[in-house]
């Protein structure tokens, strides 16, 4: 992933994005995380860059994208929230601060707090919905790169995703993130069943979607002949949904 990929995506849906702001945030984050690497060994900056790209796929604004690039700076580097405020303003600093506060929920004991309770705490404590969106993108990228962890940790993270974050994505109506989170978590928790279902789905996602459009066309024609007026839509089910 390159910064140019993110910029290209941003320009594709909003010509008035503050590209200079995004570039400045990337440079700031790259400097702050310099020398840090992920468990995989790749430079740490790859993570916030990918999180920002996921949000650009959702067509979010430049302020949210900027906060995504900076979301780990306060927690993982020597820079403070005051530094973020001075450099990027209060709005972006508040988004970064919100992300940092969500992470404190990691300390909640599973015995003391049910997953539903944690979901409610997250949703109730966050004042700006953009913080939740950044967190979902953060979790999605972590799931995409989860193979670097030992099995026990992978399964713990996957359970959190399935019980906490995928339901939040569902509640917010972000189907694309919900479905991918569920499939990635399901693959970790039940790899054999996941592989079995995947092997049985021989067609690609695009091919299945074409079949759905063909079916809709046939049904609409029949309904029209019966003088029944309607709007019809459909989608192919993902692996966890099939399960």
Is residue 75 part of the annotated active site? The answer reads yes
* Non-local CB neighbours of 55 within 8 Å, separated by 6+ positions: 64, 65, 68, 133, 134, 137
Phi, psi of 174 (to 5 degrees): -100, 80
Residue 41 has what DSSP assignment? Answer: S
Run of H or E including 213 = helix 205-225
Query: In a 10 Å sphere around its CB, with 0-12 CB exposed, 13-18 middle and 19+ buried, how is residue 100 labelled?
Result: middle
Length of the chain in terms of residues written: 243
Catalytic member of 14, 42, 75, 207: 75
* pLDDT attached to residue 109: 47
Run of H or E including 121 = helix 115-125
Each residue's pLDDT expressed in tens, for the chain with a length of 243 residues: 899 999 999 999 988 889 999 999 999 999 999 999 999 889 999 999 999 999 999 999 999 999 999 999 999 999 999 999 999 999 999 999 999 887 766 555 455 557 777 777 777 777 899 999 999 999 999 999 999 999 999 999 999 999 999 999 999 999 999 999 999 999 999 999 999 999 888 767 778 888 889 999 999 999 999 999 888 888 778 899 999
Q: Which contacts (CB < 8 Å, 24+ apart) does range 66-70 have?
A: 66/21, 66/22, 66/25, 66/92, 67/92, 67/95, 67/96, 67/99, 67/130, 67/134, 68/134, 68/137, 68/138, 69/22, 69/25, 69/26, 69/28, 69/29, 70/25, 70/28, 70/29, 70/96
Distance CA 226, CA 223 (A): 5
Instruction: Answer whether 137's CB lies under 8 Å from 68's CB.
Output: yes
Could you tell me the pTM of the whole model?
A: 0.85
Q: Which residue has the tokens 């910064």?
A: 3
Distance CA 52, CA 71 (A): 10
Residue 161 has what DSSP assignment? Answer: I
Is residue 5 part of the annotated active site? The answer reads no
Single out the residue of 139, 127, 188 nearest to residue 165, CA to CA.
Answer: 139
Single out the residue of 112, 120, 126 nearest to residue 167, CA to CA.
Answer: 120
Catalytic member of 18, 30, 61, 76: 76
Four-point Cα dihedral 86, 90, 94, 96, nearest 10 = -40
């Amino acid at each position: 992933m390159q910064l140019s990929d993110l910029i290209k995506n941003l320009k594709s849906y909003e010509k008035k994005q503050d590209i200079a702001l995004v570039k400045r945030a990337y440079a700031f984050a790259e400097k702050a995380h310099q020398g840090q690497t992920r468990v995989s060994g790749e430079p740490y900056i790859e993570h916030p860059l990918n999180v920002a790209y996921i949000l650009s796929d959702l067509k979010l604004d430049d302020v949210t994208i900027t906060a995504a690039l900076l979301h780990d700076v306060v927690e993982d580097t020597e820079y403070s929230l005051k530094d973020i405020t001075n450099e990027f303003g209060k709005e972006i600093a508040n988004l970064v601060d919100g992300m940092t506060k969500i992470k404190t929920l990691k300390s909640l004991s599973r015995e003391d707090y049910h997953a539903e309770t944690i979901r409610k705490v997250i949703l109730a404590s966050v004042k700006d919905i953009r913080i939740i969106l950044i967190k979902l993108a953060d979790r999605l990228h972590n799931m995409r790169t989860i193979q670097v962890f030992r099995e026990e940790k992978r399964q713990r993270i996957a359970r959190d995703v399935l019980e906490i974050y995928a339901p939040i994505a569902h509640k917010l109506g972000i189907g694309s993130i919900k479905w991918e989170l569920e499939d990635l978590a399901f693959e970790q928790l039940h790899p054999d069943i996941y592989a079995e279902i995947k092997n049985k789905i021989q067609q690609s996602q695009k091919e299945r979607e074409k079949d759905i459009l063909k079916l809709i066309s046939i049904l609409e024609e029949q309904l029209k002949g019966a003088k029944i007026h309607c709007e019809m839509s459909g989608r192919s089910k993902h692996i966890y949904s099939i399960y």
